[in-house]
């Protein structure tokens, strides 16, 4: 299993990306605040894993705050992955789902804990 980590640092966001070869997925665990200060970090953290062409699960369950800029970051990740034929699944709790619903993009993302 390959893994990369991004520290929270000043912006309160921590990323851990792991390739689960037996499960056939790449799992990105996000913790902290997903907001404007996270700009570009999700896409950059997934780039080393793209050549594997495995579905990506973004786990938001440890995210304490998400705003429209964080949602835009997820949208950009979705578009980047879709552009190379990779599926994105978002694991979110009810408070996160509210942000997707309010923004009117709930139907543009696939939600679940895995890709099955």
pLDDT given for residue 5 in this prediction: 55
Q: Assess if residue 33 is contained within a domain.
A: yes
Q: Assess if residue 45 is contained within a domain.
A: yes
Tell me which residue has tokens 């980047």: 80
Q: Assess if residue 116 is contained within a domain.
A: no
pLDDT given for residue 9 in this prediction: 46
**φ/ψ (deg, to 5) at 39:** -50, 120
| Structural domain count of the chain | 1
Q: Assess if residue 99 is contained within a domain.
A: yes
Please give the residue range of the domain that contains residue 11. Answer: 3-111
What digits encode the pLDDT tens for the residues 12-58? 789 888 877 667 889 999 999 999 888 888 988 888 888 888 999 99
Full-model pTM: 0.85
> Across the chain, what does the average pLDDT equal?
86
CATH assignment of the domain containing 50? 3.30.750.24
Tell me which residue has tokens 């996270």: 38
Q: Assess if residue 9 is contained within a domain.
A: yes
11 pLDDT exceeds 70? no
């Amino acid at each position: 299993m390959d893994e990369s980590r991004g520290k929270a640092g000043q912006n309160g966001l921590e990323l851990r990306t792991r390739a689960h070869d037996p499960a056939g997925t790449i799992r990105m665990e996000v913790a902290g605040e997903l907001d404007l200060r996270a700009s570009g970090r999700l896409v950059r953290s997934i780039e080393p894993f793209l050549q594997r062409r495995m579905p990506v699960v973004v786990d938001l369950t440890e995210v304490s705050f998400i705003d429209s800029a964080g949602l835009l970051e997820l949208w950009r990740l979705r578009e980047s992955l879709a552009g190379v034929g990779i599926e994105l699944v978002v694991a979110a709790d009810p408070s996160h789902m509210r942000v997707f619903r309010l923004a009117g993009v709930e139907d543009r993302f696939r939600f679940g804990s895995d890709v099955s």
